[in-house]
Amino acid sequence: MQNVHINSIARGDEGEELEASFEPRDLSMALVSIKLIKDMAPMLDPDEDYITIAETEQQTVATKAQRKKELEEAHANLKGKNYNRLLSPLPPTVPSAAEHASHINDLETSRLSLAKAINDAESSLASKEAELARLKEEARTLEEYDPAAEHEKDLDGTALRLQLFKGLGFEPVADKDGRLNKMLVRAETGDVHLVSFDDNKKDYTALLWKLASS
């Protein structure tokens, strides 16, 4: 199908002739648009449209003013209620600000006292636990302690010392109360000397060794 060109001649701004070329489809759309504009022309009334726009603007301004007024009234009402609430006496069950502050101070004091008591109790508990551990250790030591065995060890030590003394030529002599008051000294010559210890607690060491080596 061949395209059909329609040439249109128009005059420009300076009077020169301008030639435009249209496709049939473009021309058809242009004709339809022109027809629609002609059909709507009777319905377009500039005065009526202006009035409509003006009324809309007035309605908008009035609505904004009404909302502003309602907001101011609500704010004033709320402010008045708050003021009345501040002026109105509190119920007997509701403490005043001073009483509330005093109660808070009392609670804080109680909290500090309780914290100190807990700290003291923890320190006392630690001390008691240490004492208990020490007593348990002492009890274990006492359970393991055998007086008879210890006495036997002492006797064995005493017997060993007596044997040693006898080997050196000394034999202690005790009285009826078990107190050492005399010493038999066997000299190297075979002589036996008896040395009595008096209560002046003088040193008999040199005498005993002298007799033993004689």
Same domain, 174 and 201: yes
Entry pTM? 0.27
Same domain, 134 and 105: yes
Domain that holds residue 113: 97-145
Which residues fall within 8 angstroms of residue 23, CB to CB, at 6 or more apart? Answer: 3, 5
Q: What tens digit of pLDDT does each residue of 110-130 get?
A: 999 999 999 989 988 888 888
Domain end, chosen from 145, 177, 203, is at: 145
Q: What tens digit of pLDDT does each residue of 25-82 get?
A: 666 676 766 777 666 666 666 666 667 777 888 888 888 888 888 898 888 888 777 6
Whether residue 151 lies inside any domain: the answer is no
Contact 165, 172 (CB under 8 A): yes
Whether residue 119 lies inside any domain: the answer is yes
pLDDT at 14: 46
Whether residue 52 lies inside any domain: the answer is no
The C-alpha atoms of residue 158 and residue 139 are separated, in whole angstroms, by 29
Total of domains in the chain: 2
Whether residue 39 lies inside any domain: the answer is no
Q: What tens digit of pLDDT does each residue of 141-186 get?
A: 877 766 666 655 555 566 667 677 777 777 877 777 777 778 788 8
